[in-house]
Amino acid sequence: MLKRIGRKLRALHRDEQGADMVEYILIVAAVALPLLGVMIWFWKDLSRWVGDAWEVIKGGGGEQDPSDL
């Protein structure tokens, strides 16, 4: 039984599929974490910009008449 466990551990050690996934996760983290930091740093400016853009998209507020659609 000990030999079988040893063989499984050696096979697991030689398997490199997990290394590729770790690399992908590190790349995503390297992009996402600085982006998240910028979003937190400029939160007020971004929320104001999105709010202004949303008002333009909505048409400056107010309800639309269903006959205009």
Predicted pLDDT at 69: 47
Q: How many domains in the chain? A: 1
Helix locations, the chain, DSSP H: 2-14, 17-41, 43-58
39-59 per-position pLDDT tens digit: 999 999 999 999 999 999 998
Q: Model pTM greater than 0.75? A: no
Q: How much of the chain, in percent, has pLDDT values that exceed 70? A: 75
27 or 1, which is more confident? Answer: 27
65 or 50, which is more confident? Answer: 50
Is 62 a member of any domain?
Answer: no
Is 50 a member of any domain?
Answer: yes
Predicted pLDDT at 38: 94
CA angle 14, 15, 20 (to 5 degrees): 125
d(CA 43, CA 5): 52
Instruction: Give the domain range for residue 43.
Output: 31-57
